[in-house]
C-alpha cells in the first residue's frame, strides 16, 4: 500500500515553524514530503490527489503536528478499512449557516478510491466551502461516513475573531488539541504564536506535552468574543 504524506509551505513561512514540524515528524518516524510552493492551498491539494500515485493521501499543515505516532496509524487504518476520510474537525464560521463540521486540511487523510468515488471534488474553496470542505459536503450528500477528531483544549484566543465556535459542539482557538491526538497552532504568522509552536513541539519530542492552563473546548466563553 502506497501512502503519500504531504505538507505545504510558502516562501514566507518562518523557518522555526518548519524546523519544529520536521522535528516532530522525524521523532514519530512519519515519512513526509514538504512542498515549498507559492500556490493556493486547495489547488495544491487538488494536484497531489490527482497527480500522485498512492493508495492513501495524508496532509498536515506546517503548523499542525501529531501528538503521538498512534494517531497517524489510526488514520491510515480508519480510511483503509472504511474507504473514507479522517482528520481534524472544523467549521467555516465565515460561511452561512456556520454549522457544517468537516474534515479540515490541517490534518486530512483519504483513500484514493474514496476520492474517486466522490467524483474527485475540488479542495479549492467554493461558495459553500472553505479549503477541503467540499470533500465532506459531497460525502454528506452520498451518505459516506467519515471521522473527525474534535477539540479538547486550546492555548489561546485568536487576536482578531475571538474564539471559534465548532457548531453545537464547543470552541477552538490558537493551539488547539484534538482528542489528545493532534495539535494545530492556527495563525502561525504571529511571532508570539511561533514561539508557542516551538515550545509545544519540543514538549512533544521530550514527552512532556501537557494541557495545564489551557482553555476547555466544552466550556462556554462568557465574556469572550465568539465568532
**DSSP per residue, 46-66:** HHHHHHS--SEEEEE-TTEEE
Residues with Cβ within 8 Å of 150's Cβ and at least 6 positions away in sequence, in order, are 89, 166, 169, 170, 178, 179, 217
CB 163 within 8 A of CB 172: yes
Task: List the one residue out of 39, 46, 44 whose CA is nearest residue 120.
Answer: 46
Flag the least confident range among 3-12, 124-133, 149-158, 187-196: 187-196
Cα–Cα distance between 146 and 143 in angstroms, integer?
9
Residue 222: pLDDT over 70: no
What pLDDT, in 10s, does the model give residues 146-183? Answer: 999 999 999 998 877 778 999 999 999 999 999 999 99
- The mean predicted confidence, pLDDT, of the chain is 94
Grid cell of 172 as nine digits: 477552538
What pLDDT, in 10s, does the model give residues 84-121? Answer: 999 999 999 999 999 999 999 999 999 999 999 999 99
Residue 214 is given by DSSP the state: P
Average pLDDT over residues 7-14: 95
Architecture field, domain 3-216: Alpha-Beta Complex (3.90)
CB 70 within 8 A of CB 44: no
Grid cell of 155 as nine digits: 492555548
CB 207 within 8 A of CB 214: no
Confidence at residue 227, expressed as pLDDT on a 0 to 100 scale = 54
Task: List the one residue out of 3, 44, 36, 40 whose CA is nearest residue 17.
Answer: 36
Confidence at residue 225, expressed as pLDDT on a 0 to 100 scale = 58
Please report which confidence band the pLDDT of residue 223 belongs to, taking 50, 70 and 90 as the band edges: low
Confidence at residue 160, expressed as pLDDT on a 0 to 100 scale = 73
pTM score, whole prediction: 0.95
**CA angle, residues 48, 179, 116, in degrees to nearest 5:** 25
Amino acid at each position: 500500500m502506497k501512502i503519500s504524506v504531504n505538507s505545504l509551505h510558502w516562501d514566507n513561512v518562518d523557518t522555526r515553524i518548519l524546523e519544529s514540524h520536521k522535528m516532530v515528524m522525524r521523532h514519530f518516524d512519519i515519512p513526509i514530503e514538504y512542498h515549498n510552493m507559492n500556490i493556493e492551498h486547495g489547488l495544491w491539494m487538488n494536484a497531489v490527489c490527482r497527480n500522485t500515485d498512492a493508495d492513501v493521501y495524508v496532509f498536515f499543515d506546517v503548523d499542525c503536528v501529531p501528538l503521538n505516532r498512534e494517531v497517524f496509524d489510526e488514520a491510515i487504518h480508519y480510511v483503509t478499512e472504511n474507504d473514507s476520510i479522517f482528520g481534524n474537525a472544523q467549521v467555516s464560521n465565515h460561511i452561512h449557516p456556520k454549522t457544517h463540521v468537516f474534515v479540515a486540511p490541517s490534518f486530512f487523510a483519504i483513500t484514493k478510491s474514496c476520492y474517486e468515488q466522490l467524483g474527485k471534488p475540488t479542495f479549492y474553496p467554493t461558495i459553500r466551502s472553505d479549503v477541503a470542505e467540499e470533500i465532506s459536503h459531497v460525502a454528506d450528500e452520498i451518505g459516506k461516513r467519515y471521522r473527525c477528531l474534535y477539540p479538547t483544549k486550546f492555548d489561546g484566543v485568536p487576536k482578531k475573531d475571538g474564539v471559534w465556535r465548532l457548531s453545537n459542539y464547543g470552541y477552538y482557538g490558537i493551539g488547539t488539541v484534538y482528542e489528545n491526538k493532534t495539535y494545530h497552532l492556527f495563525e502561525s504568522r504571529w511571532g508570539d504564536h511561533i514561539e508557542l509552536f516551538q515550545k509545544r513541539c519540543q514538549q512533544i519530542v521530550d514527552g512532556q506535552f501537557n494541557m495545564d492552563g489551557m482553555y476547555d473546548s466544552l466550556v462556554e466563553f462568557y465574556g469572550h468574543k465568539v465568532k
